Structure 1
Amino acid sequence: MLKIWGRPNSINVQKVLWTADELALAYDHVPAGREHGQVGEAWFAEMNPNRLVPVIDDDGFVLWESNAIVDYLARQYGKDGFCPTDARQQASARQWMDWATFTLVAAMTPVFWGLVRTPPGQQSDAAAIEKGIAACQAAFRLLDAQLKERAYLLGDSFTLADIPLGCAVYRWHALEVPREELPHLEAWYARLRDRPAYRARVMLPLT
């Protein structure tokens, strides 16, 4: 059986759990990381020497890095268009998945840490938060333009390309930050909220 390690409030673990639920996979979820521990154990380092989550073990096949895991699960178990078979569509999906991680989430990280993870009584970096908000707003304007004439990132159907960005857009809406009116982005976000797996795995309190 598929086994997934990672704390459920991690944006990267949420990608994997959401994907597994969309694919109706049977799996064993083991909370790990931060308050759940386990990542410091020697046996965990044998699976992932980075000592980070998520990690999966699919009948002996161990894999880490969230986008790689989403891509693997989609290719291995996806159907009904969730995983594109055309090489160009596959590349486009990976393009948006990587952009979500290295552009959007990277810009959002100092905002999240400053507003959510800064310990009480400790001063957050206001300049870093402001810079991150501006970078996120620019990224979301780009995403809004991509969604202008399509329901999802790659077209009319929900695919793995929507997973990383879907996790990020919920986090953005859960943060107390100024948000521009971006109608195409909001329509896409509404479509994601209609998905039971999205509500169950992604729409959780920020901690």
Structure 2
Amino acid sequence: MTYLLLRIDFSDDPNCNWCSNKLRSGKVRVLQDANGREVQAGPTCARKNASNPDERVPDLTKATLELEGDEPPVGPSIVTPPRGPGAKGSGGLSAERQEQIRRDRAESYLLLRVEKLVGYKDVLFPRLQVIYQRYLDKALTEDDYNYLDNLMAKTKADRPKLSLRNLQATYACHYWIERFLEQDPKPFIQSLQAQLKGRLYLTPAQVGKLNECLSEQKRPLEIDPEAFVR
């Protein structure tokens, strides 16, 4: 069966769809089969079984650092595609690669605002929902990408709590807070959840407490304490 690599995401399920190796970090590759069923894998099995192993896909885990792993952390950056055939931008990236990065960022931003942070104030609005449906139908247009580019630039300047960087940090903390509450609804974790939903922000010290919880679970993963926009 053919599988398509969709995104990099969090998961507390340690099972890989293909092998017996446990996925301990909480960071997985999500693939989709021809019937639309999503499965998860580590980087090696994803590369072996995906039809698009080298394609850039949305990475919703960029506010985290892997303490052990095969990939260095990659932080968010703004990329402006160079003009002209064969042109190269900063770092010697080709125009094609720059465009892949641009689309990856736009799709990540869309998923965070429409799918991953449902219920957070001011995160979702109707036009994003329309664009998201086209994303699900694999029919995003150049106008959609341009709109998302402009929205990311505007929020970074005018509403930084809704910027890509801040929503990446919010999602990382949101995901693990939800998991910790399912296991043990401690009042302190509940207070972090309330602050995160109300302010889209946690202090470095509060993120440090979440990292202590991750360490207690022996996950080789931590959330960057400086990931939020101040």
Give TM class, smaller chain. under 0.3
* TM, length-normalised to structure 2: 0.25
Higher helix share: 1
Higher relative contact order (CA 8 A, sep 6+): 1
Larger Rg belongs to:
2
TM-score under structure 1 normalisation?
A: 0.26
